[in-house]
Structure 1
Amino acid sequence: MRTIAEINDKIEAGKAVVWTVEELKAKVADMGITKAAKAVDVITTGTFEPMESSGAILNLGHTDPPIKIRQCWLDGVAAYSGFGAVDLYLGASQAPDRKQPSELMEGEDIQMQGGGHVIEDLIAGKAVHLRALGQMTDCYPRATLDTMITKETINQFYLFNPRNLYQNFIVGVNGGDHLLYTYLGPLQPRLGNAIYSNPGALSPLLNDPNLRLIGVGTRIFLGGGVGYVTWEGTQHFPLQKRLPNDTPIGPAATLALIGDAKQMESRWVRGCYFKQYGPSLMLGVGIPLPVIDDEVVRRCAVTDEDLVAPIIDFSIPRRVRPTFGLVSYAQLKSGTIQVESTKVRSAPLASMALARQVALELKQWIELGTFTLTEPVASIACDRTFVPQDAWGSQISLD
């Protein structure tokens, strides 16, 4: 029907028709796929959910005398410094260094403020305490650095996230006898609750299940600024089993993302904490899908009734845990699911309201002509297997 170049011409002329993915689904129900495809140029998707495999690259600039940083802490959170002399990588799930018991306030949790919170503070324009130890050499004679930094007093500050935007995920339950603290949050014993993290029919990758439109170089909404897809994400598993509509029945594709954090907004990049698990990062990500033909609309018309996720029992502490079967996102979003003979309360980690807002804000950028689409420079691999890790020698013969 149309090319990305033609769609960009319409965007720049202020004539592009842009619908959020929810608007598209409603239009398809009203007018059908063919008419909807003729009417719309771009569909915007969005999510706002925990993405712990995220982090920030920072370049501090050289001091006088220069320092070759080999250990560094930002507001007490360790940053990796094993590459450039004043380059750092701050992981979103990095916990702060432990305090001595005598230093803790009553009731204070030493794990609450982690890397994600430091990233949020920097994006918000706050000053962050930096303490660094250097490897003294002839060209880098300085031994220590103790200062305050902001996003304006450093050179580069950008998010580089190895794994974001899971294409589907799991539903966590607890069939055991005691409370479990997990990366999905607290799971109550004896099937007391069920937690899921994917927004279902709003989710970017579930509306492009075969990654036909998304590739390396795709321009996206990332944390309130402009970002790009850089590669497949870690644990990318496109060979996951799929339904007839090509959507996966569990965790599948992932993406690696990058974007200038100096352009971002702290409302879309928020540090968070999971009790007795650790810190993480809530992140808003939106992807525009160009309507190049009817098939794009057909895929985006998928509803929560058409999407499923596996119910996983976390009470068994193994890599492969028991499953209670599949459940639709429509059932999950109803607030109650059936697990065997038990009715279980369900709740999302993703914010549906903010996911909608991400898609809406991206729509507004495109309508204003401030955001155009990009042609991918390479496809995301669709043949990756998922390789587990075992202790050396457990499954490997040395003969």
Structure 2
Amino acid sequence: MRTIAEINDKISQQRAVVWTVEELKARVAEMGVTQAAKTVDVITTGTFEPMESSGAILNLGHTDPPIKIRQCWLDGVPAYAGFGAVDLYLGATQVGEAADGEEMREKGGGYVIEDLIAGKPVHLRALGQVTDCYPRSSFETTITRDTINQFYLFNPRNLYQNFIVGVNGGDRPLFTYLGPLQPRLGNAVYSNPGAISPLLNDPDLQLVGIGTRIFLGGGIGYVAWEGTQHFPLQRRLPNRTPIGPAATLALIGDAKQMDARWVRGCYFKSYGPSLMLGVGVPLPVLHEEVVARCTVQDQDLVAPVVDFSIPRRVRPTFGLVSYSQLKLGRIAIDGKSVRVAPLASLFLSRQVAIELKQWIEAGTFTLTEFVAPIPADQTFRPQDAWGSQIPID
């Protein structure tokens, strides 16, 4: 029906018809898939949820005399300095340190990234390896996003296509990456926003690949690679959506263009710091099947209910539950009514899709052809303490 070049031509003339994925689902109910596909050019999706496998690359610029940084702290949070002399990588989940070396668990890399994006000053302390070309041994200053060279997010694993529902069947509270789980099935927590989530509306990643332009943290970003723990071979329903964690994407984008509204440091009690991130993906309507895939509803999507009280890599589950059930606020587990809460902000997920729609309608955001597909046959390999292939003396 259309090509991306044709859609971009309409975008540049501000004639493109753009619907959020929620609007698309409602319009299809009124006019059907075929007519909707003839009408709409781009469908926008969005999510705002914790994405802990995220971080920022920073280049500070050289000091005089030069320093080869090998240890560095940003507002007390260690940054990795094991590559270029003044290149750093700050992980979103890195825990802060006090002056005495004790951990400051409620201060993490995600907060520092948010502060830099917001234009706030950040204290930097660095120790160097003294060499003939890098004679300086230490350095201390205050930086902002405007006083450094490159500052961009490079996130190894974002946009889980689906995820789990966490519960606790044990006898004590558990503090997890989904937040606190109360004992004896006291609560349940899920993370994915369901039917408005980007990759559940493109289940086989036919429209998303390496080089796809996206909304990332309030700025423009790109799909850089498959994400870590990418597992497209997850079991799927007849509608091709996975029943649990499946595809993931690695994302990259200029943090200097981002907005702290969409990049927020956060802290999970007794677990650690993380990062809340807004990501929006535009889906070009190249043919009717694109619209058909996007009609998926919360009742058509499921996630596994996983018991965190079993401290193993593979935990028992209480079966599958639909996102429509999760969004009602209670689910039944073994005959017990369990209250449920989302980690993803459904309101802000919708706002991401709306803002991306406005960018496209204004002609300021065009679509890209991806340069390579995301692998569709990636397996998921566990890591065991003693591999059978390693001889033991």
Same fold (TM over 0.5): yes
In structure 2, stretches of 5+ residues that fail to align are none
Q: CA deviation at 1:18?
A: 0.1
Counterpart selection for 1:133 from 127, 143, 148: 127
**Tell me, what secondary structure is at the counterpart of 1:32?**
helix
Counterpart selection for 2:356 from 359, 362, 369: 362
Question: Which residue number in structure 2 is paired with residue 144 of structure 1?
Answer: 138
- Percent identity reads 78
Q: CA deviation at 1:87?
A: 0.2
Q: CA deviation at 1:15?
A: 0.5
Report the Cα distance in structure 2 between the residues aligned to 1:51 and 1:178, rounded to whole angstroms. 26
| Post-superposition CA distance 1:105-154 (Å, at most 9, x none) | xxxx9211100000000000000000000001111000000000000000
**Tell me, what secondary structure is at the counterpart of 1:195?**
strand
2:265 counterpart of 1:271:
yes
Question: Which residue number in structure 2 is paired with residue 18 of structure 1?
Answer: 18
Report the Cα distance in structure 2 between the residues aligned to 1:372 and 1:209, rounded to whole angstroms. 22
Counterpart selection for 2:389 from 371, 377, 396: 396
Counterpart selection for 1:352 from 335, 346, 355: 346
Report the Cα distance in structure 2 between the residues aligned to 1:48 and 1:203, rounded to whole angstroms. 9
Structure 1 consecutive aligned stretches of length 4 or more whose deviation exceeds 2 Å: 98-101, 395-399
Q: CA deviation at 1:97?
A: 1.8
**Tell me, what secondary structure is at the counterpart of 2:94?**
coil
Which amino acid is 1:31 matched to? M
Report the Cα distance in structure 2 between the residues aligned to 1:31 and 1:340, rounded to whole angstroms. 41
2:195 counterpart of 1:201:
yes
Counterpart selection for 2:218 from 215, 218, 224: 224
Report the Cα distance in structure 1 between the residues aligned to 2:11 and 2:180, rounded to whole angstroms. 45
Question: Which residue number in structure 2 is paired with residue 94 of structure 1?
Answer: 94
Report the Cα distance in structure 1 between the residues aligned to 2:292 and 2:105, rounded to whole angstroms. 45
- The aligned runs of 1:163-174 (5 Å cut-off) are 163-174=157-168
Question: Which residue number in structure 1 is paired with residue 2 of structure 2?
Answer: 2
- The aligned runs of 1:149-160 (5 Å cut-off) are 149-160=143-154
| Post-superposition CA distance 1:69-118 (Å, at most 9, x none) | 000000000000000000000000000125559x9xxxxx9211100000
Which amino acid is 1:91 matched to? G
Which amino acid is 1:93 matched to? T
Report the Cα distance in structure 2 between the residues aligned to 1:327 and 1:233, rounded to whole angstroms. 25
Q: CA deviation at 1:304?
A: 0.2
After superposition, the Cα gap between the structure-2 partners of 1:75 and 1:228, relative to the gap in structure 1 and judged at 3 Å, is same
Which amino acid is 1:133 matched to? L
Q: CA deviation at 1:30?
A: 1.0
Report the Cα distance in structure 2 between the residues aligned to 1:53 and 1:221, rounded to whole angstroms. 18
Report the Cα distance in structure 2 between the residues aligned to 1:315 and 1:35, rounded to whole angstroms. 49
1:335–1:347 contact (8 Å) kept in structure 2: yes
Which amino acid is 2:320 matched to? L
Q: CA deviation at 1:397?
A: 5.1
- The aligned runs of 1:220-299 (5 Å cut-off) are 220-299=214-293
Q: CA deviation at 1:340?
A: 1.5
2:87 counterpart of 1:114:
no
Question: Which residue number in structure 2 is paired with residue 320 of structure 1?
Answer: 314
**Tell me, what secondary structure is at the counterpart of 2:265?**
strand
- The aligned runs of 1:298-317 (5 Å cut-off) are 298-317=292-311
| Post-superposition CA distance 1:157-202 (Å, at most 9, x none) | 0000000000000000000111100000000111010000000001
Question: Which residue number in structure 2 is paired with residue 28 of structure 1?
Answer: 28
1:57–1:87 contact (8 Å) kept in structure 2: yes
**Tell me, what secondary structure is at the counterpart of 1:162?**
strand
**Tell me, what secondary structure is at the counterpart of 2:195?**
helix
Report the Cα distance in structure 2 between the residues aligned to 1:141 and 1:54, rounded to whole angstroms. 33
**Tell me, what secondary structure is at the counterpart of 1:355?**
helix
Report the Cα distance in structure 2 between the residues aligned to 1:138 and 1:14, rounded to whole angstroms. 57
Report the Cα distance in structure 1 between the residues aligned to 2:196 and 2:271, rounded to whole angstroms. 27
Which amino acid is 1:338 matched to? A
Report the Cα distance in structure 1 between the residues aligned to 2:379 and 2:14, rounded to whole angstroms. 43
Which amino acid is 1:232 matched to? E
**Tell me, what secondary structure is at the counterpart of 1:230?**
strand
How many residues get paired? 392
Report the Cα distance in structure 2 between the residues aligned to 1:45 and 1:98, rounded to whole angstroms. 40
Question: Which residue number in structure 1 is paired with residue 54 of structure 2?
Answer: 54
After superposition, the Cα gap between the structure-2 partners of 1:166 and 1:71, relative to the gap in structure 1 and judged at 3 Å, is same
1:99–1:110 contact (8 Å) kept in structure 2: no
Counterpart selection for 1:175 from 163, 169, 176: 169
| Post-superposition CA distance 1:258-290 (Å, at most 9, x none) | 000000000100000001100000000000000
Q: CA deviation at 1:48?
A: 0.1
Report the Cα distance in structure 2 between the residues aligned to 1:368 and 1:130, rounded to whole angstroms. 39
What TM-score do you get using the length of structure 1 for normalisation? 0.97
Report the Cα distance in structure 1 between the residues aligned to 2:390 and 2:115, rounded to whole angstroms. 50
Report the Cα distance in structure 1 between the residues aligned to 2:330 and 2:80, rounded to whole angstroms. 43
